[in-house]
Amino acid sequence: MTGWRQSRAVALVAIAVFLTVQLIIPIGRYGNFEVTQRFGWQMFAGFVPAPQITVVTSDGEHPVVLDDYMAWPRADIDIVRYLPAHLCEIVPDVQSVRWETGSLEC
């Protein structure tokens, strides 16, 4: 092959590999999941209602407004895995954080 044909073939192979990866990852992540998965086609399609989180301080119970901590609650992010521990660190005089299925003592 001449130089320009070889470089064109390399470019076409690189583009084909790139497009194949762009299809294989979402197809591999596609399936029946309870919660939508990151990097899948259903990543932004699922809707899971945001949990009701309450902070307990010496002044009483205060509901947490998720908009103060997140741009939008996504279905593929487990909010109760990360947010309660974060609230324990940043909320002054916090004693515990509660949600529908559990609680965390600070």
Q: Which amino acid is at 62?
A: H
In tens, the pLDDT along 62-103 reads: 999 888 888 776 666 788 888 999 999 998 899 999 999 899
Domain layout of the chain by residue ranges:
54-105
More confident of the two residues 36 and 89: 89
Q: Determine the pLDDT at residue 28.
A: 72
d(Cα 97, Cα 89) in Å, to the nearest integer?
11
SS3 state at 55: strand
d(Cα 1, Cα 9) in Å, to the nearest integer?
10
φ/ψ of residue 95, rounded to 5: -105, -40
